[in-house]
């Protein structure tokens, strides 16, 4: 069965599911389901953005690179959102990189087709602009959190965000990767992860993290995580399910 012939109920992206059914039906033939392998770059720094992506599973990190080659994560996008916000906002490139950090699938749309549908479907544009506000809030909170809160709180927040976008409770993760995402030394992440593990909130083994006690992990984080969740509920409406706002 060709993708365009698949029922709309197969859509696994929260944003697209929120669209009026007639609008989703309109753009459905212009979408293509693609795999998102680990470390795939969805758009590069300073290069034209050819496609936008609506993740259905897995997630992508938005990375800011420094002159020395180091990178820090400034945003995280899973099935609650879309990759390619500069196109929505009138740009055609970005000074940030979007890289897949947990494999999954996404619905891809050509950037030119995306611009056309934004003009034709006001509800589509309005919904995505609301998501852009949610993502902006996440980025702003990340900056404030990284500057003011303790590393164990920041790590707990990041793990909750990753857990939100994971099908189960286990996802691939290394201390080196967490250190890069948080912009700190590996030794600091090792200590912070050890504290969360000792408390029984997570289990770590062979490059994999298991969230063993989500409530405990929520108690270990700062207020920044809840602020972003509440803002998403206000702007987009709460998602169905009991785990969190990002669950479908």
The tens digit of pLDDT for each residue in 55-72 reads 999 999 999 998 888 888
Which pLDDT value is given to residue 239?
Answer: 55
- Specify the pLDDT at position 9: 83
Sequence-distant contacts of 140-144: CB under 8 A, at least 24 apart: 141/224, 141/227, 141/228, 142/73, 142/74, 142/75, 142/224, 143/74, 144/224
- Are 72 and 147 in contact by the 8 Å Cβ rule? The answer is no
pLDDT for residue 100: 95
Cα separations in angstroms, 167 against 78, 103, 172: 11, 11, 12
Domains observed in the chain: 3-144 (2.60.120.10), 150-221 (1.10.10.10)
**Residues in the chain with pLDDT < 50?**
240-248
Alpha helices in 52-92 (DSSP H): 85-88
What pLDDT score was predicted for residue 241?
37
What tokens does 151 get? Answer: 């590393």
pLDDT at 240: 40
* 218: Cα separation from own chain's centroid: 18
- Token pair belonging to 103: 């494999």
pTM: 0.90
Q: Which residues, at least 6 apart from 21, have a Cβ–Cβ distance to it below 8 Å?
A: 8
């Amino acid at each position: 069965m060709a993708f365009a012939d698949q029922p709309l109920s197969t859509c696994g992206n929260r944003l697209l599911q929120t669209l009026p059914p007639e609008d989703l039906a309109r753009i459905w033939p212009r979408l293509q389901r693609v795999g998102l392998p680990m470390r795939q770059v969805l758009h590069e720094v300073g290069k034209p953005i050819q496609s936008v992506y609506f993740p259905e599973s897995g997630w992508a990190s938005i990375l800011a690179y420094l002159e020395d080659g180091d990178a820090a994560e400034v945003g995280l996008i899973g099935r609650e959102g879309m990759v390619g916000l500069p196109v929505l906002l009138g740009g055609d490139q970005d000074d940030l990189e979007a890289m897949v950090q947990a494999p999954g699938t996404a619905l891809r749309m050509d950037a030119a087709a995306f611009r056309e549908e934004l003009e034709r479907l006001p509800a589509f544009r309005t919904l995505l602009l609301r998501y852009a506000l949610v993502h902006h809030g996440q980025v702003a909170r990340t900056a404030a959190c990284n500057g003011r809160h303790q590393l164990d709180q920041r790590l707990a927040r990041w793990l909750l965000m990753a857990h939100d976008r994971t099908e189960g409770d286990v996802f691939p993760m290394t201390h080196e990767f967490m250190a890069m995402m948080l912009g700190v030394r590996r030794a600091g992440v090792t200590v912070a992860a050890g504290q969360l593990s000792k408390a029984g909130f997570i289990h770590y083994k062979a490059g994999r993290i298991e969230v063993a006690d989500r409530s405990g992990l929520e108690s270990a984080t700062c207020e920044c995580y809840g602020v972003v969740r509440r803002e998403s509920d206000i702007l987009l409406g709460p998602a169905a399910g009991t785990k969190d706002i990002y669950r479908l």
